[in-house]
Copies of this chain bind each other. A is one copy, B any other.
């Protein structure tokens, strides 16, 4: 790799383009007509509720009561969409478009309408006058298409709104799809975000032999909502230098007088460069560090829109970002400007009213129907389930100690072997640290710029960017494949809002009849806070659970298996499951296997059960219920039960383990939530409950709020106390240790248990003393007393 003679040159290699074929006068004319049509439609959608074909002079009644939508980015999207069509038609390429500036929905919808994709999924938007009027009128109207691209819009795999993720999602989509090309528009506003800024590195992880390609188009129109953009004030040489540094060949398209010819040539150049790189790799002569093509497209914001209003520039300024003529319904001058603007597209020349259809020339640029971007199967109907190995073969004998992640690593190795092209693991450089390295017995990392790992078809990608991992996983999953994102528990929080935006896309997608099921997003949180005692406070944050819990309950699943057998069953389930966001939380450290394979099966099916081996209530009428949810805190609960058996033998103690967090909330709120009877049979209807929880107390408080008699519940959990210390000190600092559990039990139960209440004060004192003594030991010896790891006696 170090030998520069073998690497892709930093200077673009001129490709021989057959210019006779590209951008003929006729083709350019057709390209222009298509854009005139889509520009007209996009503008009309923002403004008109009637008279959508301008068959009579525009009047104020024709204007919508609320003007919603973003014009500024639309003409650029229409230009790009048209040229995607042109390229697809020319080469019969499987391609679709990911639109970073998702607020440009009018442009996307306009193109989908013209090409007939909208009508395929929504008959009311037939490609005729009625459909056209319906489209224009219902855009941004209650129950119509929303103002931003979402999962109701055909051909889309990306929620438009929160900027920054289009590029990484595009790269996820082309992985393991060698023929596919995704064109990705990155707006110059979006390009300022961190997640986009690092996603440019994605090509360093794309093997041109096994995967497809992205054509990134940085669309520089110079303005955000109200400020100039960074890329807008950079000169061509500055932009070209930057992206050359990222590893690209850069071609700037900015000649407005010949923009269609320039764009056609540039797209062809990008395509030929992609094929050249792919052909080399696929013929066994891969280019080292290939320099993939990208385009920089400079067009004025709101191009072709109104030039000026009240002496202020609109076209080419931030004023065209949203609605460039905001008072068109009440102001004569604006109405007049709007009418001139719309008429400038001469839509009547493009749509033949007598034939009730577009003229042929408008449609000339479109590829044949099965290649149109709005109906690509990859975007809505490509899911195939994984072939899954039998997890039973990997289960551990009850009583042994085992790391959950070790068995997951072994399980994933088998999944990889059985699914060499449909399963990937995305990790922020933590796979080995998370003890999942068993997968490296059957696969590699896939880092093309590394001598060690390039061209080996590795299923693992590690980039130190959770945002990029998440974007890749979204793109991969939404195009029908399945992925796993294991992470340090703490750092998964980095992609909180990406998960939320995905959950929104998923929720609406599931309500959208034509979208077929997809695989689930699968997260593993390990290196959890309780065992980040060595890395300290910054590595202790279980907030992702809380954030997932606020999403629609239909789409979320949260599991905290307390041992390796339960984790195996859980991951097998999650990799099979469809349409969910699965969060699995478990330990990478060896912990006791509490349940036999059969017991684990029953436990996982139930989601929670009484663990009789550590209970002293004989299954009936306990005085107090101890609940553990999560590996380390469950260990403490079991240890507490053992202590209680010795020190408070009169107390009938029940131990419950909760594996599936979603059994807890009010019946009917989640598909897994227990009915009252089942809930009471586990937790009783009135006995004190000491709930020792893996994460923040707020999680359990939220889930149990609506259960009757909630005042009987004491919730223990992580309280933001942490540093570099010992595992046991982490527990006592947050009052989740066995001693704290015992104290909480005595505190609660003694109210109802006269015999115990006499000794309560003394018992509590002695346990508080034990905590102090342990802390002294820990400070002195720099480690926990070894007996704390012993399996509790019963």
Contact = CB atoms under 8 A, between A and B. Distances in A.
Interface centre among A2, A66, A247, A708 (most CB of B within 10 A): A66
Interface in A136-173: 140-148, 150, 159-164
A549 interface: yes
A547 B550 contact: no
Contacts of A235: 2, 4
A117 interface: no
Nearest to A223: B429
A196 B242 CA distance: 15
A348 B477 CA distance: 59
Identical copies of this chain, number: 2
A175 B65 CA distance: 46
Interface string A188-214: 011011111111010010000000000
Contacts of A550: 543, 546, 696, 698, 720
A226 interface: yes
A243 interface: yes
Contact of A194 (B147, B193, B775, B781): B193
B720 A710 contact: no
A142 B725 contact: yes
Contacts of A146: 536-537, 723-724
A470 to B, nearest CB: 10
A103 to B, nearest CB: 8
A492 to B, nearest CB: 9
Interface string A263-278: 0000000000000000
Contacts of A359: none
B500 A464 contact: no
B493 A497 contact: yes
Given A1-B233, A162-B490, A497-B543, A536 B150 contact: yes
A452 B543 contact: no
B781 A162 contact: no
A491 B192 contact: no
A430 interface: yes
A372 interface: no
Interface in A97-147: 102-103, 140-147
Contacts of A433: 225-226
A423 to B, nearest CB: 20
Contacts of A701: 701-702, 705-706
A431 interface: yes
A345 interface: no
A643 interface: no
B782 A142 contact: yes
A242 B246 contact: yes
Interface residues of A, number: 127
B227 A537 contact: no
Contacts of A65: 781-783
A545 to B, nearest CB: 10
A617 interface: no
Contacts of A445: 227
A497 B541 contact: yes
B226 A431 contact: yes
A234 B10 CA distance: 12
Interface string A589-604: 0000000000000000
Interface stretch (A71-79, A501-509, A763-771): A501-509
A163 B550 CA distance: 26
A723 B140 CA distance: 9
Interface string A447-475: 10110100000000011110110000000
Contacts of A450: 228, 233
A24 interface: no
A609 to B, nearest CB: 25
Contact of A538 (B66, B501, B723): B501
Contacts of A431: 226
A237 interface: yes
Residue among A429, A491, A500 facing the most chain B CB atoms (10 A cut-off)? A429
Q: Interface centre among A150, A164, A709, by most B CB within 10 Å?
A: A164
Interface in A414-433: 429-433
B192 A464 contact: yes
A702 B550 CA distance: 12
Interface string A229-263: 11001110111111111110000000000000000
Contacts of A192: 198, 201, 463-465
A371 interface: no
Nearest to A242: B245
A552 to B, nearest CB: 5
Given A193-B465, A546-B546, A710-B711, 9 more contacts: A240-B245, A494-B497, A496-B547, A508-B537, A546-B550, A546-B698, A549-B698, A550-B696, A706-B711
26 contacts: A146-B724, A150-B723, A161-B536, A162-B491, A189-B429, A192-B198, A193-B194, A193-B464, A193-B467, A194-B467, A194-B468, A204-B230, A226-B431, A226-B433, A233-B450, A245-B246, A491-B497, A493-B497, A496-B496, A496-B497, A496-B547, A503-B720, A546-B547, A701-B706, A702-B705, A706-B711
